[in-house]
């Protein structure tokens, strides 16, 4: 497996991180993964999934491990209530996982908006979708097979090594390497998607209350176009596709025009235009927001959740208490108008239920997620720093895989179980063999 290699370069999807690992390993099974850990000597070991984190979560100049070859469906255990526990190799990409589940009449309860990530990478940073009654991907995990810093293989769940399970199911690879993930999945379902342009004020007025957008839809999100009062709203609800009242599937041509041509090809062109002539951004956003048209269609859940994202960008996302959302958006709007910052990318807003995963951004609190993006060719630091200051006022918690500048001391104040996490990490990895500069920053060098 390990052989001499030429100088290696690794970079992440968003090109915010670049490293030269001393070695790259691609173990084919868990025994080989153990040998990578025990044979690493003093070098740190990090696993990389799809490299889709904007932060340096996966980066190392030590041993960089890919589990792309440990990506199989290992076990399916049907449950009396129709759910199933499905064990998969940690490197499986969400797209392959979705297809494997669909082939067995099963599906993930909720997903984010792309399917390129590995399952282990996605849970390790708290990847989430939207839905006020649902949690992120880590809440769907019921068991893990870990390789520890001592080179042992341990199976953990809520009953066996419960604290290690809590820490490792969202732990940035800092408490153990995940070799396999057991997920609780549900019977396959269809979603009817209703996508409509709405004025921002109408969205904000309609959000709350028992009949409000957030409570009355299984999954709701909206994109607000800075420099305008316009949004695109997306409401996805479970339906029986045989019901004559539900919308038909999207035609192939319309799907291509919306998801490829408008969302990617034209969007890339408008971003290049505004990068070259920044003053045009408000006008371009007005035109883009007006050009959006409504659509309604029904499809298997994983096809509705996921859209292709080919325009490269940088992103910061914060989870905030749901009640703070309207004020936070108003503050961001005021800052953009005051500073005349040019922001061609929409601001994305999603929702999640409180959960019990120690380092989950939605831990014990009803959350709204506010994500700001900037096109790859445009500077992002001033905009994101301003948003970070606004989020600090409402005790916002940054997505672990997206850009932010918080450090361990501040994060400790935001997470009630932070100290418990650090205790598990110290016990599991006292020498910091699974550490990197990012974990040093967010957890502190000695955990």
User: In the complex, which residues of this chain contact ligand FAD (CB under 6 A)?
Assistant: 13-14, 46-53, 57-58, 67, 90, 112-114, 117-118, 120-122, 124-125, 127-128, 172-173, 177-178, 309, 399, 401
Beta strands (DSSP E) in 244-382 are: 295-300, 313-321, 347-352, 367-375
Nearer to ligand FAD, 282 or 418 (CB): 418
Whether residue 323 contacts residue 207, with contact meaning beta carbons closer than 8 Å, is answered with no
Least distance between ligand FAD and beta carbon 185 (Å): 18
Which tokens go with 139? 């809440």
Nearest to 298 by CA among 222, 197, 195, 214: 195
Nearer to ligand FAD, 52 or 342 (CB): 52
**Measured distance CA(398)–CA(404) in Å, rounded:** 6
Least distance between ligand FAD and beta carbon 298 (Å): 21
Nearer to ligand FAD, 117 or 190 (CB): 117
Helix, strand, coil shares, percent, the chain, to 5: 35, 25, 40
Nearer to ligand FAD, 202 or 312 (CB): 312
Nearer to ligand FAD, 64 or 325 (CB): 64
Nearer to ligand FAD, 199 or 430 (CB): 430
Least distance between ligand FAD and beta carbon 112 (Å): 3
Least distance between ligand FAD and beta carbon 300 (Å): 18
Least distance between ligand FAD and beta carbon 94 (Å): 8
DSSP run (H or E) holding 106: strand 106-107
**Measured distance CA(364)–CA(356) in Å, rounded:** 6
Whether residue 135 contacts residue 183, with contact meaning beta carbons closer than 8 Å, is answered with no
Q: Which residue has the tokens 């100049």?
A: 61
Least distance between ligand FAD and beta carbon 338 (Å): 29
What SS3 state is found at 58?
coil
Least distance between ligand FAD and beta carbon 367 (Å): 12
Least distance between ligand FAD and beta carbon 426 (Å): 17
Nearer to ligand FAD, 117 or 217 (CB): 117
The dihedrals phi and psi of 371, each to the nearest 5 degrees, come to: -115, 130
In sequence order, the 6+-apart residues with CB closer than 8 A to the CB of 406 are 388, 398, 442
DSSP codes, 321-359: EGGGHHHHHHHHHHHHHHHT----SPEEEEEE--B--TT
Least distance between ligand FAD and beta carbon 232 (Å): 15
Please, what is the Cα angle at 73 between 68 and 79, to 5 degrees? Answer: 145
Nearer to ligand FAD, 135 or 282 (CB): 135
Nearer to ligand FAD, 225 or 345 (CB): 345
The dihedrals phi and psi of 445, each to the nearest 5 degrees, come to: -60, -35
The dihedrals phi and psi of 331, each to the nearest 5 degrees, come to: -65, -45
């Amino acid at each position: 497996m390990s052989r001499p290699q030429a100088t290696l370069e690794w970079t992440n999807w968003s090109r915010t991180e670049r490293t030269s690992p001393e070695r790259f390993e691609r173990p084919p099974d868990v025994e080989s993964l153990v040998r990578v850990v025990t044979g690493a000597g003093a070098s740190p070991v990090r696993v990389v999934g799809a490299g889709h984190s904007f932060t340096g979560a996966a980066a190392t100049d030590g041993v960089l491990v890919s589990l792309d070859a440990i990506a199989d469906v290992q076990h399916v255990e049907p449950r009396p209530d129709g759910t199933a526990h499905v064990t998969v190799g940690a490197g499986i990409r969400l797209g392959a996982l979705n297809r494997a589940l669909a082939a067995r009449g099963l599906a993930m309860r909720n997903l984010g908006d792309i399917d390129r990530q590995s399952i282990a990478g996605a849970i390790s940073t708290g990847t989430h979708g939207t839905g006020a009654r649902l949690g992120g991907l880590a809440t769907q995990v019921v068991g893990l097979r870990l390789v520890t810093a001592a080179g042992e293989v341990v199976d953990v769940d809520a009953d066996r090594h419960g604290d290690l399970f809590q820490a490792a199911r969202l732990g940035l690879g800092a408490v153990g390497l995940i070799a396999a993930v057991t997920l609780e999945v549900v019977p396959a379902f269809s979603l009817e998607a209703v996508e409509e342009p709405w004025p921002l004020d109408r969205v904000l007025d309609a959000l709350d209350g028992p009949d409000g957008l957030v409570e009355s839809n299984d999954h709701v999100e909206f994109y607000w176009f800075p420099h305008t009062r316009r949004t695109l709203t997306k409401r996805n609800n479970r339906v029986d596709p045989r019901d004559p009242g539900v919308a038909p599937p999207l035609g192939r041509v319309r799907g291509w025009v919306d998801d490829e041509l408008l969302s990617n090809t034209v969007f890339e062109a408008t971003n290049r235009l505004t990068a070259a002539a920044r003053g045009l951004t408000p006008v371009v956003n007005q035109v883009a927001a007006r050009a959006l048209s409504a659509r309604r269609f029904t499809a298997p859940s994983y096809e509705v959740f996921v859209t292709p994202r080919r325009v490269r960008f940088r992103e910061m996302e914060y989870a905030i208490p749901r009640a703070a959302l309207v004020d936070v958006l108003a503050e961001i709007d005021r800052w953009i108008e005051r500073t005349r910052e040019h922001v061609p990318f929409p601001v994305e807003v999603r929702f999640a239920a409180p959960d019990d995963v120690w380092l989950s951004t939605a831990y014990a609190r009803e959350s709204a997620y506010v994500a700001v993006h900037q096109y790859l060719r445009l500077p992002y630091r001033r905009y994101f720093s301003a948003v970070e200051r606004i989020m600090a006022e409402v005790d916002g918690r940054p997505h672990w895989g997206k850009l932010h500048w918080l450090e361990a001391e501040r994060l400790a104040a935001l997470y009630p179980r932070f100290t418990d996490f650090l205790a598990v990490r110290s016990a599991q990895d006292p020498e910091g063999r699974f550490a990197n500069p990012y974990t040093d920053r967010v957890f502190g060098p000695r955990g």
